[in-house]
Structure 1
Amino acid sequence: MPTLLHLDSSVYPHEGSASRGVTASFRKTWEEQHPAGTVIYRDLAADPLPHIDGVSATAGFSDPAEHSPEQQKAFALRVELAEELERADAIVIGAPMYNFTISSTLKSWLDQVIIMGRTAGETPSAAGTPVTVVASRGGSYAPGTPRETFEFVQNYLEAVLNGMLGLNVDFIVPELTLARVTPSMANLIDLSDASRAKAYEDATTKAKALAARFAG
């Protein structure tokens, strides 16, 4: 049965997070299509991975047979994450924008899971796996908006997820999520609500379409 890898990185709990709601909707739809399937879930905010350090970094560029005990321990985590990535038939990632880019916890996952010669390089081991990224943000950074040039979430993740890991990247972008709690954005509430509704609709549509690939 198919496997979904589900990553959340919002610092807020479900009821206060735009990205968590949409990734949960995606997962629910996926599970409805594949009730006997497997979901690998990591809440990177509640259970953060360690930042990559010199020990874990050098372990990725040396012969495992020659690893020190410290390198063995550090590299074991990287291998575990790589295996989760490789097992996945599809991936959904909650990637809210913080200070114009992704959370440090999602960056830690990327730093750990990118292993040159395995998950990255000339023949990435998970190449072609579809990944749906829920890139929520409090304002709007769409083309033509005043802050278009401050958008470093989609640009970065496209480069890393596709350019390095070889994944097939698709985005869902709920924006203007702060409109209902920010007085100066009150005139944007209707646009915010429409963006939220479309994000949930897209999550359902995309999850069904991906799940159908593995039917039967």
Structure 2
Amino acid sequence: MTEPWTPGDGGAEAKRYAPATQRNREAIAAVLADWLPASGMVLEVASGSGEHIVHFAAVFRHLGWQPSDPDRDALTSIAAWSAEADLANIAPPLRLDAAAADWPVDRADAILCVNMVHISPWAATAGLFAGAAHVLPTGAPLILYGPYLEPGVATAESNRAFDAGLRARDPEWGLRDLGLVASAAAEAGFGFAERRTMPANNLMLLFRKS
């Protein structure tokens, strides 16, 4: 197991900022209030800057929160945000690559993944479902947030432009077809439970371990 970064690593200057976090965190939290379990530990995969998890940990203090990310600088930022928040229900961040066969987590009661699926190779999404299948108990939620392409649903022009920009940066990135995502989830043993529309042409998707 990779040793986690501790909250003391990196000062305030190590914090990263993601402007979209301030805009979407309240809307995401409103849906999480309906979908998260009453108790237990929530593993966030691809925590990025760490801004989301400190907000959610403050809102849902009855839950433990485990941040993770594959990027060292992101882990340092998460630790800096966590240290500033000084919340007892945030664990030190772990280095976790969603695409890896082995995760440094044995069990979680819920998994949250925000804005990773379109900014990573498809292997990360397939690995997310495979890894979640190993750590979540039956009935537990796997929650995704981000933009998706939906069969039969017109794609907003802003999302088309965003998709083109992502693919120009990396051909393995891009908005995913919701049908393909649901199929990958089913192959890993997850049922597609609910879809909610969100501001700025995003979706929240709820899968449950079968």
Relative to the length of structure 2, the TM-score reads: 0.41
Q: Which has the higher contact order (CA 8 A, sep 6+)?
A: 1
Relative to the length of structure 1, the TM-score reads: 0.40
Asked which structure has the greater CA Rg, the reply is: 1
Q: Which has the higher helix share?
A: 1
